[in-house]
Amino acid sequence: MDEPTRYAEGMKTRRAVLGEAYVDKASASVSEFNRDWQEFITRTAWNDIWNRPGLERRERSIIVLSIATALGAWGEFRIHVRGALNNGMSRDEIKEVLMQAAIYAGVPAANHAFKEAMSVFAEVDAEG
Amino acid sequence: MDEPTRYAEGMKTRRAVLGEAYVDKASASVSEFNRDWQEFITRTAWNDIWNRPGLERRERSIIVLSIATALGAWGEFRIHVRGALNNGMSRDEIKEVLMQAAIYAGVPAANHAFKEAMSVFAEVDAEG
Amino acid sequence: MDEPTRYAEGMKTRRAVLGEAYVDKASASVSEFNRDWQEFITRTAWNDIWNRPGLERRERSIIVLSIATALGAWGEFRIHVRGALNNGMSRDEIKEVLMQAAIYAGVPAANHAFKEAMSVFAEVDAEG
Amino acid sequence: MDEPTRYAEGMKTRRAVLGEAYVDKASASVSEFNRDWQEFITRTAWNDIWNRPGLERRERSIIVLSIATALGAWGEFRIHVRGALNNGMSRDEIKEVLMQAAIYAGVPAANHAFKEAMSVFAEVDAEG
Amino acid sequence: MDEPTRYAEGMKTRRAVLGEAYVDKASASVSEFNRDWQEFITRTAWNDIWNRPGLERRERSIIVLSIATALGAWGEFRIHVRGALNNGMSRDEIKEVLMQAAIYAGVPAANHAFKEAMSVFAEVDAEG
Amino acid sequence: MDEPTRYAEGMKTRRAVLGEAYVDKASASVSEFNRDWQEFITRTAWNDIWNRPGLERRERSIIVLSIATALGAWGEFRIHVRGALNNGMSRDEIKEVLMQAAIYAGVPAANHAFKEAMSVFAEVDAEG
């Protein structure tokens, strides 16, 4: 697969998972400084990895929420709470991921993740 | 649920996920120093969390493998590669978890996880 | 000990350590999404662990401040700066924890912890 | 070298790397609580380490940006983006550090670092 | 305090905390490559921080065990299990630190810490 | 650039940085389980990132050593100590990276990195 195809296929998945609004905003903020970066992650993360067969998208969301919680990557966590909802996870299932994560990544990580998830849900609800 | 029941129900799940051999070995090494600890994790991790409804065991395995990879908790990772197999994940699905984890936790974490997983698979194969 | 007793005993300790105001606020924000979580940490963290004999509460505060600093869990750190004061640590003793933590967790972690601690002290002073 | 000399030599380097404005602000906020800390890092980080021969200052900036990204120490990261510019790195070179860091520390860390760096550049531009 | 005094005072504390045998071994392995490093940590960690008033040595041991567990720094953890014993902590108190750490740093970190602590105790017992 | 070219160009750089012996050994251990992974990192890490202009290879080595130290990724660290030597860093320069890393990632991380680096140097010396 050549680079333009990887980018186009990655962008489709990125839009399907993260939502049109988020990706439009990210695309609008592309600058000379972060253009290479935005293109790299679209090709590499969103095509080369997310488009692989072998796991369902909702399972990939579970991986990303788990790792973002463990590493305290809260910006990424928020983006992927929306991604998880778009990939078919219920709020209750997200809750279960965080309760399981508490055992393996510690209570402070899970405690903060609960706060962030509730804040994202409130945003989603406000958007109607 | 009282403490003896939590312990008994936790032990059932721990044995189902980690295998009789591993739990027998852990039980045999219980000492005055780690008895409280072994009982605490059996009640808390293995009953209070693993026995919750809401996610399948294989999904809980995905969470644990993801977090153990991200945090470099290689002893825990090895135990839960066996757990993942016991919970119905294929080796190819474990591979996919690690490829996804590479993006979100970095290449060194995933690279080492591949080595550890292959070493566990070799052990499992040798046990016949 | 059954679950209601663990919850009640945990809540007493949680209130004694974190203060009535904080726990009242946390209790008021309980929702369908985080009820299981709030109950789990009250039973598990605040009763099963914090109520164990063997260390004084101020020693448990030292552990929590140290780990929260090392992991960059700043929300948890702020809560437990208040907890440390309630458990009898002086501000100077908290300072010493952070200076010791700088060696073992790095200067950036300690540097940020100093900022957070000073911000909590300012809040406490304003509450008079 | 005695302590006053270490402090004075460290302060020179700290001012050269982080800029007069930042250090003046940090010095103005010194209190009874953080005086020992400010003096310790000036002597130890800024003299004993930063003043060692063997690497150029721009190479030391590369180390600090890499570690701050990997550990999610964003306050430290922001300070040292300015430090890197003062030590002669171009914005494009900072970009390259972050792209390399994405592979070794994961995409979420690098993604957030891009956001922080762009925010610091905007501040610098606004200061004229 | 000048550098030779900081080194001498640091070495006294290092020997008191870590034991003569460990420090003799570390001193014997000093090479051109790590001489600056060994001198730096003796002056900075062992004198400038460990010799500060304000906390007891056993409290400083609690900090170090907590952080080493949270960060998975197992070599450091092992050294400081001996340090904790030398500073007057009982094995039961070390157990309590690890149980508290499980909540705040996660079960895998504490689980591995139990294994390392038991291994150090076995070494100590074998030395008679 | 298409995938076979990315792979071929990545492999050239991987061999130049890590050495023929290491890459031959890694290639010989490719299995059904890790083939996708080995190909992914060769294309993505070794071509898409390492082959970018904008930083010298020795600067990229500084980044990788810094991050591997901060994250405790010791397998990766060892590989990249050899890479750093191949990219023109002296042992003294590697020492300086570790001393700088001690401030920003903590003493335990740097202390272990010194041990690993000395062990790699001994291997290199033994190979003559």
**pLDDT the model gives residue F110:** 98
- Helix and strand totals (H; E) in chain B: 7, 0
At residue D128, the pLDDT reads: 78
Confidence of residue A12 (pLDDT cuts 50, 70, 90): very high
How far is residue F14 from each of residues B113, D106, F21, F47, F51, measured CA to CA in Å? Answer: 20, 20, 11, 8, 10
Mean pLDDT of chain F: 97
pLDDT digits (tens, 9 = 90+) for F49-106: 999 999 999 999 999 999 999 999 999 999 999 999 999 999 999 999 999 999 999 9
Q: Are E71 and F72 in contact (CB under 8 A)?
A: yes
Which of F63, F77, F97, F98 best tests the D interface by mutation, with the highest count of D CBs <10 A?
Answer: F63
Query: CB-based contact (8 Å) between A44 and chain F?
Result: yes
Name the average pLDDT for chain A: 97
Residue F82 Cα, gap to closest chain E Cα (Å):
16
Q: Which positions in chain A touch F44 (Cβ < 8 Å)? A: 44, 48
H helix intervals, chain A: 3-18, 20-28, 35-41, 57-71, 74-86, 91-105, 107-127
Place of tokens 């902590």: E89
Mean pLDDT of D77-98: 98
Residue environment code for E14-27, b if the CB has 16+ CB neighbours within 10 A, otherwise e? bbbbbbeebbeebe
Q: Which residues in D lie closer than 8 A to residue F105 (C-beta atoms)? A: 67, 70-71
Hey, are the CB atoms on D45 and C72 less than 8 Å from each other? Answer: no
- Å between D26 CA and nearest CA of chain A: 27
Report the residue from B62, B63, B92 with minimal CB separation from A54.
B92
- Kindly report, residue by residue over B69-101, the tens digit of the pLDDT: 999 999 999 999 999 999 999 999 999 999 999
Of D95, D111, D114, the CB nearest to A76: D111
Closest chain A residue by Cα to residue D122: A33
User: Does the beta carbon of B5 lie under 8 angstroms from any beta carbon of chain C?
Assistant: no
How sure is the predictor about A44, in pLDDT bands with cuts at 50, 70 and 90? very high
Predicted local distance difference test score (pLDDT) of residue B26: 87
Question: Which segments in chain C show pLDDT lower than 50?
Answer: none
- Rounded average pLDDT over A48-68: 98
Residue A97 neighbours by CB distance under 10 Å: 27
pLDDT beyond 90 at D116: yes
Query: What is the predicted pLDDT for the residue at E1?
Result: 87
Nearest-CA distance from B4 to chain E in Å? 20
Which secondary structure element, helix H or strand E, spans residue D120, and what is its range?
A: helix D107-127
- Which chains does chain B touch, 3 or more C-beta pairs < 8 A? A, C, D, E, F
Tens-digit pLDDT profile for residues D20-30:
999 999 899 89
pLDDT at residue D50, as a whole number: 98
Share the mean pLDDT of chain C. Answer: 97
pLDDT at residue C1 in the model: 86
Look up residue B22 and give its two tokens.
């591993």
* DSSP code of residue D2: -
Nearest CA in chain B to F38: B111
Q: Which among A33, A41, A67 is the nearest to D95, CB-wise?
A: A33
Residue C120 contacts E, CB cutoff 8 Å: no
Cβ neighbors of F15 (< 8 A, separation 6 or more) are F23
Q: Which residues contact E43 (CB under 8 A, 6 or more apart)?
A: E3, E6, E7, E10
Q: Are C85 and C124 in contact (CB under 8 A)?
A: yes
Give the 3-state secondary structure of residue F36: helix
Contact C112 D75 (CB under 8 A): yes
Q: Dump pLDDT digits (tens) for E34-57.
A: 999 999 999 999 999 999 999 999
User: Which H helix or E strand runs over E101?
Assistant: helix E91-105
B95, F40: Cβ pair inside 8 Å? no
In this complex, do C105 and F106 lie within 8 Å of one another by their Cβ atoms? yes
pLDDT value for A70? 98
Residue E128, pLDDT > 90, answer: no
Q: What is the DSSP string of C22-89?
A: HHHHHHHT--TTTHHHHHHHIIIIIIIITT-SSS-HHHHHHHHHHHHHHHT-HHHHHHHHHHHHHTT-
Of E95, E106, E112, which has the smallest distance from its Cβ to B33's Cβ?
E95
Q: Is B116 at the interface with chain F, CB within 8 A?
A: no
**CA distance linking residue B82 with residue C115, whole number of Å:** 44
Q: Do B1 and C1 touch (CB under 8 A)?
A: no
Burial of D71 (0-12, 13-18, 19+ CB in 10 A): buried
The shortest CB-CB distance from C1 to any of B3, B40, B48 is to B3
> Which residues have C-beta within 8 Å of that of residue E63, sequence separation ≥ 6?
C62, C66, C97, C100, C101, C104, E55
Q: Which tens digits make up the pLDDT trace of E97-116?
A: 999 999 999 999 999 999 99
Whole-number Å distance between alpha carbons of E76 and E72: 9
Contact assignment for B40 to E118 by CB distance below 8 Å: no
Looking at this predicted complex, what is its ipTM? Answer: 0.97
Shortest CA gap C58–chain E (Å) = 10
User: What is the amino acid identity at position A18?
Assistant: L
Q: Residue B102: list chain F partners with CB under 8 A.
A: 37, 40-41
B85 touches chain D (CB under 8 A): no
User: Do the Cβ atoms of F77 and F113 come closer than 8 Å?
Assistant: yes
Average pLDDT score, chain E? 97
* DSSP three-state, residue B128: coil
C-alpha closest to that of F86 among F114, F112, F65, F109: F65
Q: Which residues of B touch A93 (CB under 8 A)?
A: 54-55
Interface test with C, best of D71, D74, D112 (most C CBs within 10 A): D71
**pLDDT digit string (tens) for C55-89?**
999 999 999 999 999 999 999 999 999 999 999 99
Q: Please tell me what DSSP assigns to residue A89.
A: -
Q: Does B72 touch chain D (CB under 8 A)?
A: no
